[in-house]
Amino acid sequence: MLRFFLYRVALLIPTFIGVSIVAFAFIRLLPGDPIMLLAGERGMSAERYQELQAVYGFDRPYLVQYFDYAWGILQGDFGQSIVTKRPVLEEFFTLFPATIELSLCAIILAVGIGIPAGVLAAVKRGSWLDQTIMGAALTGYSMPIFWWGLLLIIFFSGTLGWTPVSGRISLLYYFEPVTGFMLIDSLLSGQAGAFKSAVSHLILPTVVLATIPLAVIARQTRSAMLEVLGEDYVRTARSKGLAPRRVIGLHALRNALIPVVTTIGLQVGVLLAGAILTETIFSWPGIGKWMVDSVFKRDYAVVQGGLLLIASLIMIVNLLVDVLYGLINPRIRK
Amino acid sequence: MTKRIVKTLLAATVLSMGFAAAANAKTLVYCSEGSPEGFDPALYTAGTTFDASSKPIYSGLVQFEPGTTNVVPDLAESWEVSDDGLEYTFKLRPGVKFHSTDYFTPTRDLNADDVIFSFERQMDSENAYNAYVEGASWEYFNGMSMPDLIESIEKVDDMTVKFVLSRPEAPFVANLGMDFASIFSKEYADQLAEAGNESDLNQKPIGTGPFQFVAYQPDAVIRYKAHPDYYAGKQAIDDLVFAITTDASVRQQKLMAGECHVMPYPNPADVESLKSADGVEVMQQEGLNVGYLAYNTQQAPFDKPEVRKALNMAINKQAILDAVFQGAGQAAKNPIPPTMWSYDDTIEDDPYDPEAAKKMLEEAGVSDLSMKVWAMPVQRPYNPNARRMAELIQEDFAKIGVDVEIVSYEWGEYLERSKATDRDGAVLLGWTGDNGDPDNFLAVLLGCDAVGGSNRAQWCNDEFNDLVMKAKSGEQEERAALYKQAQEVFKREAPWATIAHSVVFMPMRDNVEGYVMDPLGGHNFEGVDIAE
């Protein structure tokens, strides 16, 4: 198991280098020049442009710029935002907890509802229940997130007034962030009602962000369950006279979960992509929104640093999934 | 005892429902459209940044009288201009206090050192703050040609500062009302430098303005509280909160749900529904901007005024206002907006008359004309959808037999390429005023010096240029007369098709009192109150 783990970790290194090259090249391949964008309609003289190019080091050959960048990363320096003039790493970690909080809630919701729904659909295959669940899953999967988010806001916040429109907590509460996770910070603050307010602000964005992963997980669980339910050992278990609940819960589900765990792991990427839109709709101060703004402003340091950090995160989650997978299924370790 | 517990519980419930805070302190929530880049306005050019920094936190030597573009005193009580127009002497207001916060306690009032520091850091590369953040480029200071213009800044005495200019430039005073000319505390800057925390000047601002900075949670919330010792008196609201909400539809929902009091930039299509919403009022004003189509007047056949005039007459502006601005626009006939002094309302716009236009083209000997129209890839207040506008112009020109090819480039590229004097075709672009001075439009966009730069029409007309240059000095009345003549020349020569000025809408809760719309496009909460 240890060798398997070390092997997987070693594989991360070339992937990391590859990602850093792609991230570096991606933003430079986009047309547009961050320095011209700083000046806006006003424009600037050619001399001034040269001057600023030199300040940011954009006048050097790409290869030099890349190695300089890579050297910085090895020392933990991801550079400085061209726009805000603050270190990229500092900005990332200020905003990152908000994204994690939202993504965790969304994945818990997606798994908590998706797996039981998938199991139910598989067990009641062909019934109206199956049809309904799968119909809902297909709808959820194809839902345009932006439209879905606005619809929920207009209905639940606008018409019914049940949930707040956007933000992380009511503006009446003010405390210094400790962990960056609003649910925890609101409890730590000791202010009455803060936690409740934080929860109420989380509901809609969580539902919106969970929609697609939930649909995917439900569909994946159903098909995996169907496959397993037809296996010999399940028939054997049934013929032994085990209670149907035990057959499904213990024998079938455990095996069906293997592909589902992979799917859940892959949803991390989907979640972060979904976070970009969800965060924009709900004014959620996370890294999704931060990245989008930075691409528009051609903030090279932020885009390449952000991409690298997000990609690393996905790689680490995938590594953990692989390890988990190895734990569930001993055959993988070989 | 039980009573007490019940009372406490009740209080807690009320607090959790959020009423208590409203009773204790008056808080105005502004759903702003984006995050500030930082809190040092001189480093940036975005209005969003100014709204969050210079507007609430800082004051300048002069300011624009609310709702107008007239220059009035702020930190300077008065000023004198020497006869040759080269020396501006400002008398500072005594007893002006800087903000006192948990990160800085001022020991003295505003004086000449603060004023000199605020400019020197931008113009003197030797100043410790000239490069205090990486890439500090002082974009506006340079963009307004201040380094060439200011020869020196002298401290006459503790409360008097003299600016010596290299040439007479009447718009100079208006420049000092701009955001980059905000006055900083030298004492605070020195303290930061001593501790090696220079970059805090951009993160933890100290000014003399109506509100002082409390906290910023990136991309989420900015908090301010009223400056208790503000020279013009403490504000009626105690706290000012910016709830950053980038999506216009979401801002609208927040306003209607009462989660904010004021929101900028509604979707034009939603303005009608906002106007009829309960408890919401919508203010409106023409923006200090102009959207135009600039011909390349150095390229045949656009070097002939009659050809340009004919094309202008073929453009159906009303159709553009309906389709592109969706009602949030007003047809433009002059290169400067109607809220600006010296605007000549007597000028008649070219009529929309395709038949006459066709005839004029024939008379000018132009047939089978095909041309390019450049469409900007971005939304701007003066042009919310350039692609659509270009398509409408394409249809209009087709009616008089002119074939149009629409081209577009990435924004930075667009701005750069459109400057070239040998550029092919007419460019859609626009301008938003900086200092409310007509010079800022007429000289910057149409002066001979700007050919190959911001003069996208590449138009150098001696008659026009002489008028605009002459208007760079003198009293406002004389200057206005010159600018009016210049507008006549402009109309006759038609280097642009002037298309539209945007109309800016400001929806707010109906209990917000005293909000004044800023023709310069800023959002300022000084003097605003919330009715009980």
B218 with A280: Cβ contact below 8 A: no
* Interacting residues of B107 by C-beta distance below 8 A, sequence separation 6+: B187
Distance from CA of B59 to the nearest CA of A (A): 22
Q: CA nearest A277 in B: which residue?
A: B247
Fold classification of B27-244+511-530 (topology level): Dipeptide-binding Protein; domain 1 (3.90.76)
Q: Do B199 and A85 touch (CB under 8 A)?
A: yes
Burial of A51 (0-12, 13-18, 19+ CB in 10 A): middle
Query: Kind and range of the H or E element at B501?
Result: strand B496-509
- Terminal-residue alpha carbon distance, chain B: 34
- Going by the DSSP 8-state scheme, the letter that residue B28 receives in this structure is E
pLDDT at A2: 78
- The pLDDT assigned to A40 comes to 65
The three-class DSSP label of residue A310 is: helix
**What does the alpha-carbon distance between residue B395 and residue B154 come to, in Å, rounded to a whole number?**
59
Q: Do B133 and A85 touch (CB under 8 A)?
A: yes
Q: Please name the residues between 247 and 286 in chain B that touch chain A, using a CB distance below 8 Å.
A: 247, 249-250, 253-254, 256-257, 259
- Helix or strand (DSSP H, E) at B512: strand B512-513
A34: closest chain B residue by CA: B412
Which residues between 29 and 68 in chain B have a beta carbon less than 8 angstroms from any beta carbon of chain A? 29, 34-35, 37-38, 43, 45
- B453 CB neighbours in chain A (<8 A) are 43, 45
Collapsing DSSP to helix, strand or coil, B102 comes out as: coil
Residues of B in contact with A161 (CB under 8 A): 257
pLDDT computed for residue A333 by the predictor:
60
- Whether pTM > 0.80 for this model: the answer is yes
List chain B domain ranges: 27-244+511-530, 287-504
Tell me how many residue pairs between chain A and chain B have CB atoms under 8 A apart: 154
Residues 418-447 of B with CB under 8 A from A: 419, 429-432
- DSSP 8-state symbol, A252: I
Nearest alpha carbon to residue B400 among B325, B478, B310, B326: B310
Query: What residue type is assigned to position B455 of the chain?
Result: N
Nearest to B451 by CA among A90, A116, A43: A43
Give the chain A residue whose CA is nearest to the CA of B24.
A172
β-pair partners for B374: B407, B427
Contacts of B203 in chain A (CB under 8 A): 86
Nearest CA-CA distance, residue A317 and chain B, Å: 26
pLDDT higher than threshold 90 for residue A255: no
Which residues on A lie below 8 Å from B259 (Cβ)? 164-167, 171
Q: Do B135 and A85 touch (CB under 8 A)?
A: yes
SS (H, E, C) B350-390: CCCCHHHHHHHHHHCCCCCCEEEEECCCCCECCECCHHHHH
> To probe the interface with B, which of A165, A169, A282, A287 has the most B CB atoms within 10 Å?
A165
Mutate to test the interface with B, among A92, A283, A300 (most CBs of B within 10 A): A283
Average pLDDT, integer, range A108-120: 93
- Residues in chain B with pLDDT < 50? 1-23
**Cα–Cα distance for residue pair A244/A242, rounded to 1 Å:** 6
Q: How far apart are CA A73 and CA A24, in angstroms?
A: 12
Name the least confident of A48-62, A121-135, B145-159. A48-62
Closest-CA residue of chain A to B214:
A174
Q: What is the pLDDT of residue A43?
A: 65
State whether ipTM is beyond 0.85: no
pLDDT score of B17: 43
Give the whole-angstrom CA distance, residue B1 versus residue B14: 20
State mean pLDDT over A5-28: 87
Tell me what pLDDT residue B224 has: 97
- The answer to whether the CB atoms of B250 and A150 lie below 8 A apart is yes
The pLDDT of residue A30 is above 90 = no
**How many angstroms away from the CA of B253 is the closest CA of chain A?**
6
Report pLDDT for B491: 96
Q: Is B402:B370 a contact under the CB 8 Å cutoff? A: yes
> Between these two residues, A250 and A115, which has the higher pLDDT value?
A115
List of chain A residues whose C-beta atoms are within 8 Å of the C-beta of residue B408: none
Rounded to a whole number, what is the distance in Å from the CA of B273 to chain A's nearest CA?
14
Q: Identify the three-state secondary structure at position A58.
A: coil
Which residue does chain A place closest to B23, by CA atoms? A172
Q: Where are the alpha helices (DSSP H) in B157-280?
A: 172-175, 186-195, 248-256, 271-275
Cβ contact (<8 Å) for A285 and B220? yes
Residue in the block written with tokens 């050619």: A46
CA distance A24 to chain B (A): 20
Give me the pLDDT at residue B21, please: 44
**Is the preceding omega at residue B301 within 30 degrees of 0, hence cis?**
yes
List the single residue in B with minimal CA-CA distance to A157.
B257
Question: Domain locations in chain A?
Answer: 88-296
B411 to A170: CB separation less than 8 angstroms, yes or no: no
Distance CA A76, CA A157 (A): 43
Residues of B in contact with A187 (CB under 8 A): none
Contact B246 A283 (CB under 8 A): yes
Rounded mean pLDDT, A98-116: 93
CB contact under 8 A, B245 and A171: no
B123 at interface of A, judged by CB pairs closer than 8 A: no
CATH code of the region B287-504: 3.10.105.10
What homologous superfamily is domain A88-296 in, according to CATH? MetI-like (1.10.3720.10)
Q: Is B217 on the interface with A (CB under 8 A)?
A: yes
CB contact under 8 A, B245 and A153: no
What is the spatial distance between Cα B302 and Cα B300, in angstroms, rounded to a whole number?
Answer: 5
CB < 8 Å to B35, chain A: 293
